[in-house]
């Protein structure tokens, strides 16, 4: 575990993903492998993460945080049923500082934490994946320690 913590995260995570998939062979396309292993919303979230489309910016756009907090609310607690694609889009593309601002705005709108909303609106592996993103966003070392 200590050796893994010393490895750059951008090297460690793809290697662990690859090892977790049956028949792993380096030199293949990770997104294609994920597509072959997972489908549905879980496959979408994993492919989105593997595509590395998340910005690394530390700049926070407060108006975007408010807008996307409302979109998350409207896609989940604010309606009957859940639009998982909105959760996936926002959780997989926004930089962590921006997500933290969105989560704070979400709490103002909903009176609930985003974690509680995810637990209420989702289940199974998709719920676990969304919660993992939120936990890593809030406290990455704490998430890995957990």
Using an 8 Å Cβ cutoff, are 9 and 136 in contact? no
**pLDDT winner (highest mean) among 46-50, 101-105, 109-113, 136-140:** 101-105
Does the domain at 62-145 match CATH 3.40.50.2000? Answer given as: no
Instruction: Find the radius of gyration of the CA atoms of the chain.
Output: 16
- pLDDT category, 136, cuts 50, 70, 90? very high
pLDDT at 25: 64
pLDDT tens digits, one per residue of 49-96 = 877 778 888 899 999 999 999 999 999 988 888 889 999 999 999 999
Structural domain boundaries of the chain? 62-145
pTM here is 0.75
Using an 8 Å Cβ cutoff, are 114 and 126 in contact? no
Q: How far is CA 97 from CA 25, 59, 100, in A?
A: 34, 7, 5
The whole-chain average pLDDT of the chain stands at 85
pLDDT at 59: 92
């Amino acid at each position: 575990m200590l050796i893994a913590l010393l490895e750059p995260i951008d090297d460690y995570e793809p290697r662990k993903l690859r090892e977790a998939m049956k028949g792993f062979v380096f030199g293949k396309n990770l997104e294609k492998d994920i597509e072959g292993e997972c489908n549905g919303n879980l496959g979408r979230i994993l492919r989105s993460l593997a595509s590395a489309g998340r910005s690394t910016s530390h700049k926070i756009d407060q108006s975007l945080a408010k807008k996307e907090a409302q979109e998350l609310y409207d896609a989940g607690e604010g309606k009957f049923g859940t639009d998982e694609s909105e959760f996936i889009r926002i959780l997989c593309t926004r930089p962590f500082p921006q997500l933290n601002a969105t989560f704070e705005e979400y709490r103002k709108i909903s009176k609930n934490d985003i974690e509680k909303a995810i637990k209420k609106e989702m289940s199974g592996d998709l719920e676990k994946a969304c919660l993992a993103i939120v936990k890593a966003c809030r406290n990455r070392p704490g998430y890995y320690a957990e």
